[in-house]
């Protein structure tokens, strides 16, 4: 079997190098196959790690080999529904961008428009500007998101808002820094059926 896996690995390496790999070889589908391992350097020395791309495709190279099966994999758990969406804003603005519009629409599609849907919107700013100004700007951002949620069919009474100003930075910065990641609003699902976050 080891010879079979080695020959499959060699063939796969050639396909990867040529950009032709579209599926894992048949050897990879055997019960004892547990993905491709790549030798990697860790803080404890060399270790073996199964590596996949963001799309879930095994990442293999000339040094890769078939991982040993340690134990039967656990049954897949049900996917948790997304409980938070983030929308971002331009500097010193509270207007909804096209990207933010799509994100808000995704939240409404995922959570629904019913009377039981409860949403909490938290506005944030970066550290440019005074704390008092940023507090007001964060509220304007939260209110702008609420207006879009209501326009998309959520009852206004089911959407609460809060402004945090520059007190909860996503990316830690010093004072007076224009950090785009901090100029945001969180859209949080607070419905009874949503898992707490």
Q: Which residue segment(s) compose the domain that 45 sits in?
A: 2-66
> Do 109 and 175 have their domain in common?
yes
> Do 88 and 32 have their domain in common?
no
Helices assigned H by DSSP within 93-176: 98-111, 131-151
Final residue belonging to a domain, choices 21, 37, 66: 66
> Do 35 and 109 have their domain in common?
no
> Do 50 and 138 have their domain in common?
no
> Do 38 and 105 have their domain in common?
no
Q: Write the CATH number for 147.
A: 3.30.1330.60
**Confidence band for 103, pLDDT divided at 50, 70 and 90:** very high
Integer Cα distance of 105 and 110 in angstroms: 9
> Is 81 a residue whose pLDDT tops 60?
yes
Work out the burial of residue 184: count CB atoms within 10 Å of its CB; fewer than 13 is exposed, 13-18 middle, 19 or more buried.
buried
> Do 108 and 54 have their domain in common?
no
> Do 37 and 94 have their domain in common?
no
Number of Cβ within 10 Å of residue 81's Cβ equals 12
**Confidence band for 7, pLDDT divided at 50, 70 and 90:** very low
Model pLDDT for residues 154-179, shown as the tens digit of each residue: 999 999 999 999 999 999 999 999 99
pTM over 0.75: no
For residues 67-89, average pLDDT: 73
Considering the domain boundaries, does residue 153 fall inside one?
A: yes
> Do 51 and 88 have their domain in common?
no
Number of Cβ within 10 Å of residue 133's Cβ equals 14
pLDDT of residue 106: 93
Integer Cα distance of 83 and 111 in angstroms: 9
């Amino acid at each position: 079997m080891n010879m079979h896996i080695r020959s499959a690995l060699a063939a796969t390496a050639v396909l990867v190098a040529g950009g032709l790999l579209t599926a894992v070889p048949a050897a990879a589908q055997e019960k004892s196959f547990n993905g491709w391992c790549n030798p990697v350097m860790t803080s404890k020395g060399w270790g073996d790690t199964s590596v996949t791309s963001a799309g879930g495709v095994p990442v293999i190279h000339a040094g890769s080999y078939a991982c040993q099966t340690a134990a039967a994999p656990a049954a897949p758990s049900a996917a948790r529904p997304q409980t938070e969406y983030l929308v971002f804003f331009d500097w010193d603005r509270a207007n909804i961008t096209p990207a933010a519009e799509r994100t808000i629409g995704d939240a409404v599609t995922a959570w629904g428009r019913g009377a039981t849907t409860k949403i909490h919107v938290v506005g944030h700013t970066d550290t440019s500007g005074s704390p008092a100004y940023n507090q007001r700007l964060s509220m304007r951002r939260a209110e702008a998101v609420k207006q879009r949620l209501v326009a998309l069919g959520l009852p206004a009474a089911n959407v609460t808002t809060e402004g945090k100003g520059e007190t909860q930075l996503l990316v830690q910065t010093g004072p007076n820094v224009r950090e785009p990641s901090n100029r945001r609003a969180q859209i949080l699902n607070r419905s009874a059926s949503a898992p707490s976050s």
